[in-house]
Amino acid sequence: MKISNFSCLSQSQTPLVDCLKSLSQQPDAAFYAPGHKKGQGIASNLTDILGNSVFKVDLPELPQLDNLFAPEGVIKEAQHLAAELFGAQQTWFLINGSTCGIIAAILATCKTGDKIILPRNIHQSAIAGLILSGAIPIFINPEYDSQQDLAYSITSVSLKQTLQQHPDTKAVMVLYPTYQGVGGDLAAIAQITHQYDIPLLVDEAHGAHFAFHPDLPPSALSLGADLTVQSTHKVLSAMTQASMLHLQGNRIAPSRISQALQLLQSTSPNYILLASLDAARQQMALSGDRLMNQTLELAAIARKQLSAIPGISCLELIPSPGFSYLDPTRLTVNVTQLGLTGYEADEILDQQLGVTAELPLLKHLTFIISLGNTTEDINQLVNAFKTLSLSPSPFIHFSPTPLFSLAPLSLSPREAFFATSETIAIKKSSGRICAELICPYPPGIPILMPGEIITSEAIDYLQTVLTLGGKISGCSDPNLTTIQVIN
């Protein structure tokens, strides 16, 4: 089925969901993949958890279900409806998470040797994009709050200075918002970027809900972004790994995005994930304002009650460089006055009090309050912190250290990735060129990346994270006694 125009489509429709439902109810002798044949061959211990119905809709690229890489039918309809709702000219559904969208954005705008400006607190998926594209990163240090020990956004001033030094830059990529819900002055950043007639790419993984309530920060597209990638699964109701890429303007050819995504997404896309994007879009179109009202009310209750607990403080919006917006549904709680690290508090909350945070850091825990949370959840969160505050520990002292240091790049990430490496003791690595992508996860912000000169500050920070209960990903030695360096 080919779609010639979309004038008959309504936001109340769910083309993908409806097609999947219809096909799952049609009896046929299935001689196509997947091998479980609509659930008939699924292991019983999995059906004990999930039941049988989900497997009946685990279907392949049947003609009626369209083709993700050359959509002409229900996928094209669903993506058009999403673009219309989110304010884009064109939208692509992603079934490999925002990771593949970030990489595709870089591949579509930069070739080997091209410069791209990024904040140093960018997600590790952007580093993967640098390795695959061969682009040369020009990093800007974001604003850093030493009191909170949090990195915010880059500023328009720092971007202007960097573009003056590197006017041949091909693209700018920024993070909006951060994991803690902090957003910088994106409108000013967009204006400066466009003075050079280059595209502004935005990692908006944590901002898919921004378009649906005036009390939330404005969406990246509304502030002038050319391309934005949103994790629809993080804060809306799509299934894990389901995201969207939105495009507007003429600075990036849509064909380049499609070509890049063909390299990065599976040729056997999961239609359950695709349908969840279709359903999440319809849900927000029909009920987004009500759902966001409900979410904001819960977040306000949580923030007010937590702030009244001795030894607890919540991150609040104090406009400053790199800090123009704060997502009120993102709750970042500082626990240092309780004598605990964020990692220690997270372990107690999770294992003893039945509350699980999204992200622990040295000083904080960050909680995502979304349309799926309830009043009971908020009560449990508040009561858990009340319990935590009754047994304060001796006050801990550790010097706040930026999440990263802007060490110089000796090689491009791509050159370093393919270079010969060797393993050496971590204590002897300062001054050597890193061959690994090492970062606490979450949030997935690299402390060290391939091609970067290792500093003693970075080593100290990583070892502090491990000592205090955090987890490090990407390193060949999980204990961090050794490290891979360029030979």
What does the pLDDT look like over 42-86, one tens digit per residue?
Answer: 999 999 999 999 999 999 999 999 999 999 999 999 999 999 999
Average pLDDT over residues 327-356: 95
Average pLDDT over residues 129-146: 95
pLDDT band at 1 (very low <50, low <70, confident <90, very high): very low
Q: 395, exposed or middle or buried, with CB in 10 Å at 0-12, 13-18, 19+? A: exposed
What are the helix and strand counts (H, E) for the chain? 15, 19
Q: What average pLDDT does the structure give for the chain?
A: 93
How much is the pTM? 0.95
Helix (H) or strand (E) holding 191: helix 186-195
Task: Return d(Cα 450, Cα 417) in angstroms, integer.
Answer: 6
Helix (H) or strand (E) holding 344: helix 342-352
Task: Return d(Cα 418, Cα 95) in angstroms, integer.
Answer: 28
* 3-state class percentages of the chain: helix first, strand second, coil last, to nearest 5: 40, 15, 45
What does the pLDDT look like over 15-41, one tens digit per residue?
Answer: 999 999 999 999 899 999 999 999 999
What does the pLDDT look like over 307-334, one tens digit per residue?
Answer: 999 999 999 999 999 999 999 999 999 9
What does the pLDDT look like over 418-458, one tens digit per residue?
Answer: 999 999 999 999 999 999 999 876 677 888 999 999 998 88
Residue 414: left (phi > 0), alpha (psi -120 to 50), or beta? alpha
Checking if the pLDDT of 226 tops 50, the result is: yes
- Give percent of the chain with pLDDT exceeding 70: 95
Which pairing describes strands 421-425 and 330-334: parallel, antiparallel, or unpaired? unpaired
Cis? peptide before 214, omega within 30° of 0: no
Residue 478 confidence (pLDDT): 85
Residue-range domains of the chain with CATH: 15-284 (3.40.640.10), 293-389 (3.90.1150.10), 413-486 (3.90.100.10)
Q: Six-digit token pair at 288?
A: 């987004």
Three-class DSSP category at 275: helix
